[in-house]
Amino acid sequence: MPDLLLELLSEEIPARMQAQAAEDLRRLVTQRMAEAGLSHEGARVFVTPRRLTLSVHGIPARQPDRREERKGPKVDAPAPAIAGFLRAAGLRSIAEAKVRPDKKGDFYVAVIEKKGRPAIEVIAEILRDVVRGFPWPKSMRWGDGTLSWVRPLHSILATFGPETEEPEIVSFAVDGIAAGNETRGHRFMAPAAFTVRRFDDYVAKLDAAKVMLDPARRAQTILADARNLAFAQGCELVEDAWLLSEVTGLVEWPVVLMGCFDPAFLSIPNEVIRATIRNNQKCFVLRDPETGKLVNKFVVVANEEASDGGRAIIAGNERVIRARLADAKFFYESDLKLRLEDRLPRFEHIIFHERLGTQAERVARIVALAGRIAPLVGADPAKTERAARLCKADLLTEVVGEFPELQGLMGRYYAEAQGEDASVARAIEDHYKPRGPEDPVPREPVSVAVALADKIDTLVGFWIAGETPTGSKDPYALRRAALGVIRLILENALPISLRAVAEWHAEHAMRVKGPETARALDGLMAFFEDRLAVQLREQKARHDLVDSVLSNASLVAGHQLLLIVRRVEALGRFLDGDDGKNLLAGFKRATSIIRIEERKDKRAYAGEPDAALYRLPEERALAAAIDAAKHEASAAVASDDFAGAMRAMAKLRPEVDAFFDKVTVNVDDARLRENRLKLLNQIREATRVVADFSRIEG
């Protein structure tokens, strides 16, 4: 079966756009082929800085014949409607249409037979349309043309045919650029044009022309060569997935070289050196494998095999890096001259958010809340408030202004340099954590208190301001902040009531209260419940158990996340045992009977049953067991003994079984029937002490 080879050769495609562009090309072409009835056995896509390449194999030589039916008007429709139907369907007379009945009457139907076309003709139309409408996030026009492309498009290579025959050129043109069977190699080392036939031939000739087509191969080459070069110098490569992806997208023929810089710059913090070299020159840094500290060497990835062995490339990078590190050193040393607290007055002139005031007001709120949280997490209040006061100060430093990703870390360095307590310095760095699901949470009490205060202030503030996440939009990263709070509480096993903390913060630090604030906090607590449910499900907790606990308002009223999680865990363990399974079965049976009778009678069977109407010992035994279980379970829940609460519920099992064995609920005596239904409802009410069993599957 024939294969398709497509290459779009242009000026350099930005590295950040390459992966998505490659996937878009594969998706758009194969999707359109499927719509046209052209199946395929496989599709591969590749990208370099200058070319997008698609290889699709196992395509049929022709479209299959297709039969379509087009529904027309009713047989008694006006003549103009019938005439319009004939024109649209391509019929010469109504005699060529069929009549089909349905529930609304008889309708004309046109049966249209479409002969399949040669696949190469269909593909030519598809490729032309895809190139014309390609969804680049940013594109440009050049010269007098009308085509929009990420950078000027130079040529299109498109061939189609089976392996055993000479492939044909897919004939189409876009903006005067006609498809052909010709491409070019590396811009500098092999710029001459050459022809290709099919994919294997194309890859081999590109390789000979100093182009590695596969980005995975380029990345592997860069990483292996950089590691080997570092090892040969007695160093270790500081690996960086983002940087590797970036440089892979900058070169078609990677050549790894090593340079060095003045060791005097090693007086700068390692992270500043790395950020300077990484961000500005896209170079890797090296470290001493024994100490872990950076050495004064770097690895640069060039895009050509230079005739001088790369000496000029290395020298050029060394010049730029020397200048950049000199700037970084100047910034760092300048920052050290001013204490962190002396920078804080500038925050009074910086707006944090139009509805939430200045950055200075935000810092004051964080200080107040951190002081409130400190005793709840076992932190020293004075140190906590000191860390909270200084935690944002490094945002006003030169180094963080140049490298925002170092915020917090630089604050720690500056705090240490001015003699702050070690726990205060660490909290300044750690208060942003966890930044993501893989980031570890702080463990030291001062760090935990400040990290919680920072995130809770953000969440309470934006909820009160009405700036909540909507759909996929979350411009203030509030989902990440909520997950951070959840992880801080759970992984540090903190029995903190989120509702109480949020209400205190709103009233005392933000100085707002009233019905609107209460509604906002209700929304925030619901948001926390949703985020907690997501977190628990990602940790493989059963979704029905999570729902059964979270849906019970009395269980989550204080939003003590740790206790909620412990209830879910205890409920899971309980239901894994025979007692739990049997109690759940009894509960399901009881609630099924109640639900059926309530629907039939159009009333609820709530309220206490009348003990005087008990006729059988099994009724009295069940009522007594329910009262005892509720009392024991409530006491256990009050002392956070969730396993004990489950054990108390398990004691209902024999009485529930005996009731269903010996007692008939739907008796003729209406008063007796109502009383027994109310007694069954007490089972449902009793289990709500621990969870909403109606949401549990099984």
Non-local CB neighbours of 626 within 8 Å, separated by 6+ positions: 652, 655, 679, 682, 683, 686
142 pLDDT exceeds 70? yes
Helix or strand (DSSP H, E) at 641: none
How far is it, in rounded angstroms, from Cα 606 to Cα 609? 9
pLDDT in tens, 380-390: 999 999 999 99
Domain shared by 192 and 265, yes or no: no
Q: Does residue 559 sit within a domain?
A: no
**Tokens of residue 36, six digits:** 């046209």
Domain shared by 58 and 70, yes or no: no
Tell me which of 271-285, 451-465, 659-673 is least confident.
Answer: 659-673
Backbone angles phi, psi at 256, to 5 degrees: -95, 130
Q: Does residue 91 sit within a domain?
A: yes
* pLDDT at position 553: 63
Helix or strand (DSSP H, E) at 496: none
User: Domain boundary at 281, 316, 335, which?
Assistant: 335
Q: Does residue 562 sit within a domain?
A: no
323 pLDDT exceeds 90? yes
Question: What is the length of the chain?
Answer: 698
How far is it, in rounded angstroms, from Cα 440 to Cα 3? 49
How many other C-beta atoms are found inside a 10 Å radius of the C-beta of residue 295? 20
* pLDDT at position 625: 94
Tell me which of 88-97, 413-422, 491-500 is least confident.
Answer: 88-97
User: Domain boundary at 154, 177, 208, which?
Assistant: 208
Non-local CB neighbours of 12 within 8 Å, separated by 6+ positions: 49, 50, 151
Domain shared by 351 and 268, yes or no: no
Q: Does residue 11 sit within a domain?
A: yes
Helix axes of 241-248 and 215-232: crossing angle, nearest 10 degrees: 120
Helix or strand (DSSP H, E) at 624: helix 617-638
How far is it, in rounded angstroms, from Cα 521 to Cα 463? 7
Query: Average pLDDT of the chain?
Result: 93
Q: Which residues of 454-474 are buried (b: 16+ CB within 10 A; e: fewer)?
A: bbbbbbbbbbbeeebeeeeee
User: Domain boundary at 540, 556, 589, which?
Assistant: 540
- Mean pLDDT within 99-125: 88
Split at pLDDT 50, 70, 90, the class of 190 is: very high
603: left (phi over 0), alpha (psi -120 to 50) or beta: beta
88 pLDDT exceeds 70? yes
92 pLDDT exceeds 90? no
What are the residues facing 71 on neighbouring strands?
Answer: 109
Q: Do 51 and 8 contact (CB within 8 A), yes or no? A: yes
Q: Do 489 and 535 contact (CB within 8 A), yes or no? A: no
Split at pLDDT 50, 70, 90, the class of 415 is: very high
Distance of CA 522 to the CA centre of its chain: 25
Split at pLDDT 50, 70, 90, the class of 557 is: low
Q: Do 253 and 303 contact (CB within 8 A), yes or no? A: yes
**Tokens of residue 331, six digits:** 């910034």
Domain shared by 197 and 247, yes or no: no
- Among all chains, which residue has been given the structure tokens 């910034």? 331
Tell me which of 76-80, 256-260, 489-493, 555-559 is least confident.
Answer: 555-559
pLDDT in tens, 192-211: 999 999 999 999 999 999 99
Q: Which amino acid is at 75?
A: V
Q: Does residue 563 sit within a domain?
A: no
- Mean pLDDT within 467-475: 90
Q: Do 465 and 471 contact (CB within 8 A), yes or no? A: no
**Tokens of residue 88, six digits:** 């649209």
Selected residue with higher pLDDT from 102 and 366: 366
pTM higher than the cut 0.85: no
- Provide the residue range defining the domain that includes 688: 573-695
554 pLDDT exceeds 70? no
3-class DSSP state for residue 294?
strand
Q: Is the peptide bond before 469 cis (omega within 30 degrees of 0)?
A: no
**Tokens of residue 406, six digits:** 């170092």
CA dihedral 312, 313, 315, 321 (to 10 degrees): 160
Domain shared by 417 and 509, yes or no: yes
Domain shared by 507 and 582, yes or no: no
How far is it, in rounded angstroms, from Cα 679 to Cα 610? 9
Domain shared by 91 and 132, yes or no: no
How far is it, in rounded angstroms, from Cα 204 to Cα 210? 10
Residue (of 74, 53, 9) closest to 198 by Cα position: 53
Q: Do 184 and 194 contact (CB within 8 A), yes or no? A: yes
- Among all chains, which residue has been given the structure tokens 């002490």? 689
What are the residues facing 294 on neighbouring strands?
Answer: 287
**Tokens of residue 334, six digits:** 């300048």
179: left (phi over 0), alpha (psi -120 to 50) or beta: beta
Residue (of 465, 480, 455, 476) closest to 370 by Cα position: 455
Burial group, residue 227, by CB count within 10 angstroms (0-12, 13-18, 19+): middle
How far is it, in rounded angstroms, from Cα 277 to Cα 321? 6
- Mean pLDDT within 320-329: 97
3-class DSSP state for residue 140?
strand
Burial group, residue 205, by CB count within 10 angstroms (0-12, 13-18, 19+): middle
Domain shared by 497 and 592, yes or no: no
Domain at 635, CATH number: 1.10.730.10
How far is it, in rounded angstroms, from Cα 110 to Cα 108? 7
CA dihedral (115, 121, 123, 126) positive or negative: negative
- Mean pLDDT within 35-64: 95
Split at pLDDT 50, 70, 90, the class of 559 is: confident
Q: Does residue 536 sit within a domain?
A: yes
- Mean pLDDT within 117-127: 96
* pLDDT at position 551: 81
Domain shared by 274 and 325, yes or no: yes
Domain shared by 58 and 77, yes or no: no
Considering its fold, how many domains does the chain have in total?
5
Domain shared by 148 and 31, yes or no: yes
Q: Does residue 555 sit within a domain?
A: no
Tell me which of 274-278, 294-298, 459-463, 512-516 is least confident.
Answer: 512-516
Strand 105-114 and strand 98-102: pairing?
A: antiparallel
Most distant CA pair in the chain: distance in Å? 105
Q: Per-residue DSSP letters for 49-91?
A: SSEEEEEEE---SBPPPEEEEEEEEETTS-HHHHHHHHHHHT-
Split at pLDDT 50, 70, 90, the class of 624 is: very high
Q: Does residue 568 sit within a domain?
A: no
How far is it, in rounded angstroms, from Cα 659 to Cα 652? 11
Domain at 126, CATH number: 3.30.70
Domain shared by 164 and 135, yes or no: yes
Helix or strand (DSSP H, E) at 670: helix 670-687
Backbone angles phi, psi at 273, to 5 degrees: -60, -45
Q: Per-residue DSSP letters for 211-240?
A: ----HHHHHHHHHHHHHHHHHHTT-EE---
